[in-house]
Chain A
Amino acid sequence: MGNTAIVEMKGITKRFPGVLALNKVDFNIHKGEIVALLGENGAGKTTLMNILYGLYVPDEGEILVDGVRAHISSPTDAIKLGINMVHQQFMLIEEFTALENIVLGSKLVGATLNYRIAVEEIKKLTHELGFNIPLTKKVKELSAGEKQRVEIVKALVRRARVLILDEPTSVLTPQEVRELFKLLRRLKQAGVSVVFISHKLNEVMDIADRIVVLRRGRKVGEVDGASANPILLAEMMVGKEVLFSLKKPDVGPREEVLTIRDLTVLSDEGLPAVKNVFLRVRKGEIVGLAGVAGNGQKELAEAIYGLRKPVSGQILLNGTDVTNIPIKERLKLGLSYIPQNRLIYGVAGYMSLAENILIDRVEENKFAKSGKFLLRLINIGQVLRYSEELIKKYEIVAPGPQVKARTLSGGNLQRLILARELERSPNLIIAEEPTAGLDVKATEYVRQTLLDIKARGVGVLLVSGDLTEIFQLSDKIAVMHGGEIVGVFKAGEVSEEIGLYMMGIERMGREEVMRKWESC
């Protein structure tokens, strides 16, 4: 770690309407160090780095680069100063090749589009760093890890001295994370400074030289990476003691609530995305469906819910064949869904909380008075009373049932969706990435709620790319790869090697999978 700070951010304050996002934060980056920016969602990590990258202008404070005061008002300014950022959502053009994406906007290729020099330079660079990227492949054909490497190389050919990575591991398998860390260490040796934004304690402690902790827009601590104590760090992040293990209630063997037989489902492109899948969920059981995103989990969940028509196979809900019935009928049989993208599929943002609670229940006699078609009235008083009850019960922080859903934070929005889906007394819940993007407190709440509902005898199909979550909650774990179930495990039977199944390196044969479903 060098002593000279290349970037000094002093007293940075940033206000958004109604929110103090950053409050007099100091942050330094030295040459050749990996500094982690740790904090819950909404702590201000990304905002701070967006300021450094020129996406926001701070209300107070100053930024010094190489000891000179810098005015960074756009990413172009930042890139000129050698500061680059890789966002959580990749900023790549899917239809272009990796090479085209890398040279885009750089000075490597002249007006005549001569790629030869560019290719040489990129190859030299990646060789030094000890990895490869398929330059001629289109970005849409690359894995998440490869896309990330393209982004990093893109930054490096722009002569990046400071590389900001926003939640870089959220899309990667454990193996890919290890590869990334290897790469980051090499970059460090080459003198590049890395800012690693994360809310995952173990990763931060693994990779960072220095850890800066933010909470609610304030810097609450700064510790050496080597001497960090996880309990202390977690306390700094959350401001109270955190539970690290949840209790999994054991509910003996019960009858099946979801049975899937030999199911094949096509993707939007018309290719088989789910291939001859067998799956079963019993009452009071959480089955974790693990896998790298894009291996058929989404299509499988959509087929169970009724959003996608299977080409063959059978779906039984509580013994009733639901393979080809509309969503409305499935809802009546006690199916609930917690969709991944809350604002797109979960709620109508411009409608009130009360109206959102009504979305899949408007036909229930509890809320609708008798009458037909245009004359069927909604019992507004009843809806408002009920919504207020749920707001209290699920501790949703909101001024009242009349406010618009889009004004809620991610955690409160998820509480709203949980309230709606769980209060319908479901038999089966499909929970798709239920804690993605939530802070520690909200994550705990969601996971505890899923365990509670399981204890009440509800079956849960948990689709998640977060292995901690899968291990923490599941009674059984099924791994999906390439549209097939390639492994079935009892909880505790498997740990990190599950990544090998997720990558498709290891797999169980069809008979073994069937036997596993029977035995555990």
Chain B
Amino acid sequence: MGILLKFEERRISSWIAAISPYGGIPLAFLVAAVIMQCSGIAPLAGFTSFFEGAVLNPTGLAVSLARSTAFLFMAVGIGLSFKANVLNIGAEGQYLMGAIAATAIAMVTQDSLPLIISLAFCLLGAAAIGALWASVAGYLRAYMGVNEIITTVMMNILAFKILQWLLRGPLKNPASQQWPMSPPLKTSIAELVPGTTLNAGFILALLISIWTYFLLYRTVQGYKIRVVGSNPSAATYGGINVRRTMVYAIMYSGALAGLAGAVDVLGVFHFLYEGISIGLGYTSVVVALIGKTDPLLIVPASILFGITYNGFTYMQSALGVPYTLSKSVEGMIYLFILLIDVLTRYRIKVIVK
């Protein structure tokens, strides 16, 4: 006797496939309501504060969009690398390296160069370091067959260690006494909504998503990336350099993650600290998958995740909901989204033998 689960692919239109994951949100809220009720928090009050904090009030919405900016940069890049069949789980580390580069370049240039020039250097430097950091895993995968999931995750840890060291050494703010953090940075990205963290980085991220879509479907390089991901053997026969294309793809992905780090440091926090990204890069992998690795579908997915992230943060402080509870409900939303996605794409059969 044994029980087997068999997944059969359904034939569904790409439209339904694109929209259906969002059906997981009401489901997650329903389950969350039960948990909140059990923990003595009125679900209705909780959700009201969630929506007020993250969507309904203009400042809250602005903060939500500011949060989604990093998701958007990273998920678009991850999506592109997935298209080349390179599973870049290293956005977290690439983001940190970008944040470090932006901080360092800002500290060096902000007093000697016009701030706009300094900003340009920061963004370029962050993108370059992100790409370079990612290329290590890309090179190992393409030329030596080392699993990129493992190397990128390992390099995430390494990047975090480097961040910890730098914040206690070269990048430390002398005035911060024992706190590991950088000095406040003068180089910054313009605010979009005054008084909020929403900055021009969001516009840049939107433009880059559109550009990436164009790159994938209208340029020779993008075409090569898709062929390599779709069938590397056919690509080889067609004279396409599969390995090099894979490295390019993950480097592009790393560059975007590096930009995300720079935009968060220069546009949101205006200094660098250890907790700048606790898992944003990993969450972006989920965002990329919800967006079907398509640069345009990733836009709504990123905004949704930005709202969720911000909404629960707000709920925490407004209602005194414990951090663990709000995080677990957040996690549940992600889980339900993925679940609904799987259920729409596959028919699951239970076979009892």
B270 at the interface (CB under 8 A from A): no
Q: Which residues of B contact A327 (CB under 8 A)?
A: 236-237, 239
A347 in contact with B221 (CB, 8 Å): no
Q: How far is the CA of A344 from the CA of B235 in the complex (A)?
A: 10
Give me 15 other A-B pairs in contact (C-beta within 8 A), A337-B237, A349-B231 excluded: A307-B237, A326-B239, A344-B231, A348-B235, A351-B227, A356-B234, A359-B227, A359-B235, A360-B239, A362-B223, A362-B224, A374-B215, A375-B219, A376-B221, A378-B218
A339 in contact with B237 (CB, 8 Å): yes
Q: Which residues of B contact A359 (CB under 8 A)?
A: 227, 234-235, 237-238, 240
A355 at the interface (CB under 8 A from B): yes
Known contacts A327-B236, A346-B234: does B226 contact A362 (CB below 8 Å)? no
A377 at the interface (CB under 8 A from B): yes
A347 in contact with B219 (CB, 8 Å): no
Partner of B230, one of A307, A337, A348: A348
Q: How far is the CA of A339 from the CA of B237 in the complex (A)?
A: 9
B219 in contact with A358 (CB, 8 Å): no
A373 at the interface (CB under 8 A from B): yes
Chain B proximity of A155: nearest CB distance (Å) = 24
Q: How far is the CA of A17 from the CA of B128 in the complex (A)?
A: 50
Q: Which residues of A contact B224 (CB under 8 A)?
A: 362
| A-contacting residues, B194-249, CB 8 Å | 215, 218-221, 223-224, 226-227, 230-231, 233-241
Task: Pull 17 A–B residue pairs with CB atoms less than 8 Å apart, ordered by A.
Answer: A17-B11, A307-B237, A326-B239, A326-B241, A327-B239, A328-B240, A328-B241, A337-B237, A345-B234, A348-B226, A351-B227, A358-B223, A360-B237, A374-B215, A375-B219, A376-B219, A376-B221
Chain A residues at the B interface, C-beta cutoff of 8 Å: 17, 305, 307, 326-328, 330-331, 337, 339, 344-351, 355-356, 358-360, 362-363, 368, 373-378, 380
Q: How far is the CA of A351 from the CA of B215 in the complex (A)?
A: 16
Q: Which residues of A contact B221 (CB under 8 A)?
A: 373-374, 376
A331 in contact with B239 (CB, 8 Å): yes
Q: Which residues of A contact B230 (CB under 8 A)?
A: 348-351
B227 in contact with A328 (CB, 8 Å): no
B227 in contact with A345 (CB, 8 Å): no
Q: How far is the CA of A326 from the CA of B231 in the complex (A)?
A: 19
Please, which residue of chain B has its CB at the minimum distance from the CB of A349? B231
Q: How far is the CA of A126 from the CA of B224 in the complex (A)?
A: 55
Q: Which residues of B contact A330 (CB under 8 A)?
A: 239
Chain B residues at the A interface, C-beta cutoff of 8 Å: 11, 215, 218-221, 223-224, 226-227, 230-231, 233-241
A346 in contact with B237 (CB, 8 Å): yes
Partner of A351, one of B226, B236, B240: B226
Chain B proximity of A353: nearest CB distance (Å) = 13
Please, which residue of chain B has its CB at the minimum distance from the CB of A361? B238
A347 in contact with B234 (CB, 8 Å): yes
Q: Which residues of B contact A351 (CB under 8 A)?
A: 226-227, 230-231
Q: How far is the CA of A339 from the CA of B234 in the complex (A)?
A: 10
B233 in contact with A377 (CB, 8 Å): no
Chain A proximity of B38: nearest CB distance (Å) = 46
Please, which residue of chain B has its CB at the minimum distance from the CB of A367? B220
Chain B proximity of A145: nearest CB distance (Å) = 29
Please, which residue of chain B has its CB at the minimum distance from the CB of A327? B239
A368 in contact with B234 (CB, 8 Å): no
Q: Which residues of A contact B11 (CB under 8 A)?
A: 17
Kindly name the residue among A17, A326, A345, A348 whose own CB sees the greatest number of chain B CB atoms within 10 A.
A348
B239 in contact with A328 (CB, 8 Å): yes
Known contacts A355-B223, A359-B227, A362-B224: does B237 contact A377 (CB below 8 Å)? no
Chain A proximity of B211: nearest CB distance (Å) = 9
Please, which residue of chain A has its CB at the minimum distance from the CB of B220? A376
> Which applies to chain B's interface (DSSP): helix, strand, loop or mixed?
helix
Chain A proximity of B225: nearest CB distance (Å) = 11
Q: How far is the CA of A140 from the CA of B106 in the complex (A)?
A: 64
Known contacts A359-B238, A374-B215: does B231 contact A347 (CB below 8 Å)? yes
Chain A proximity of B97: nearest CB distance (Å) = 22
Q: How far is the CA of A306 from the CA of B241 in the complex (A)?
A: 12
Q: Which residues of A contact B234 (CB under 8 A)?
A: 344-348, 356, 359
Chain B proximity of A279: nearest CB distance (Å) = 21
Please, which residue of chain B has its CB at the minimum distance from the CB of A360? B238
Q: Which residues of B contact A337 (CB under 8 A)?
A: 237
A378 in contact with B219 (CB, 8 Å): yes
A363 in contact with B223 (CB, 8 Å): no
Chain B proximity of A428: nearest CB distance (Å) = 15
Partner of B220, one of A305, A307, A345, A378: A378
Partner of A368, one of B220, B226, B237, B240: B220
Q: How far is the CA of A328 from the CA of B221 in the complex (A)?
A: 15
Known contacts A348-B231, A351-B226, A358-B223: does B218 contact A377 (CB below 8 Å)? yes
Known contacts A348-B227, A351-B226: does B220 contact A362 (CB below 8 Å)? yes
Q: How far is the CA of A380 from the CA of B215 in the complex (A)?
A: 13
Q: Which residues of B contact A356 (CB under 8 A)?
A: 234
Q: How far is the CA of A358 from the CA of B219 in the complex (A)?
A: 12
Please, which residue of chain B has its CB at the minimum distance from the CB of A368? B220
Q: Which residues of A contact B220 (CB under 8 A)?
A: 362-363, 368, 376-378
Q: Which residues of A contact B215 (CB under 8 A)?
A: 374
Please, which residue of chain A has its CB at the minimum distance from the CB of B214? A377
Please, which residue of chain B has its CB at the minimum distance from the CB of A373? B221
Chain B proximity of A267: nearest CB distance (Å) = 18
Chain A proximity of B234: nearest CB distance (Å) = 5
Kindly name the residue among B233, B235, B237 whose own CB sees the greatest number of chain A CB atoms within 10 A.
B237
Q: Which residues of B contact A362 (CB under 8 A)?
A: 220, 223-224, 238, 240
Q: How far is the CA of A346 from the CA of B331 in the complex (A)?
A: 43
Q: How far is the CA of A475 from the CA of B243 in the complex (A)?
A: 39
A374 in contact with B233 (CB, 8 Å): no
Chain B proximity of A347: nearest CB distance (Å) = 6
Q: Which residues of A contact B231 (CB under 8 A)?
A: 344, 347-351
Partner of A374, one of B219, B235, B241: B219
Q: How far is the CA of A355 from the CA of B215 in the complex (A)?
A: 15
B223 in contact with A307 (CB, 8 Å): no
Partner of B219, one of A305, A344, A345, A377: A377
Please, which residue of chain B has its CB at the minimum distance from the CB of A346? B234
Which 3 A-B pairs have CB atoms at the shortest separation, nearest pair first? A359-B238, A360-B238, A328-B239
Q: How far is the CA of A441 from the CA of B250 in the complex (A)?
A: 45
Q: How far is the CA of A53 from the CA of B177 in the complex (A)?
A: 78
Chain A proximity of B227: nearest CB distance (Å) = 6
Q: How far is the CA of A119 from the CA of B81 in the complex (A)?
A: 55
Q: Which residues of B contact A376 (CB under 8 A)?
A: 219-221
Q: Which residues of A contact B218 (CB under 8 A)?
A: 377-378, 380
Please, which residue of chain B has its CB at the minimum distance from the CB of A305? B237
Q: How far is the CA of A331 from the CA of B235 in the complex (A)?
A: 13
Chain B proximity of A317: nearest CB distance (Å) = 14
Q: Which residues of A contact B238 (CB under 8 A)?
A: 359-360, 362
A344 in contact with B223 (CB, 8 Å): no
Please, which residue of chain A has its CB at the minimum distance from the CB of B230? A348
Q: How far is the CA of A363 from the CA of B241 in the complex (A)?
A: 12
Please, which residue of chain A has its CB at the minimum distance from the CB of B227? A348
Known contacts A362-B220, A377-B220: does B233 contact A345 (CB below 8 Å)? yes
Chain A proximity of B222: nearest CB distance (Å) = 8
Q: Which residues of B contact A345 (CB under 8 A)?
A: 233-234, 237
Q: Which residues of B contact A363 (CB under 8 A)?
A: 220
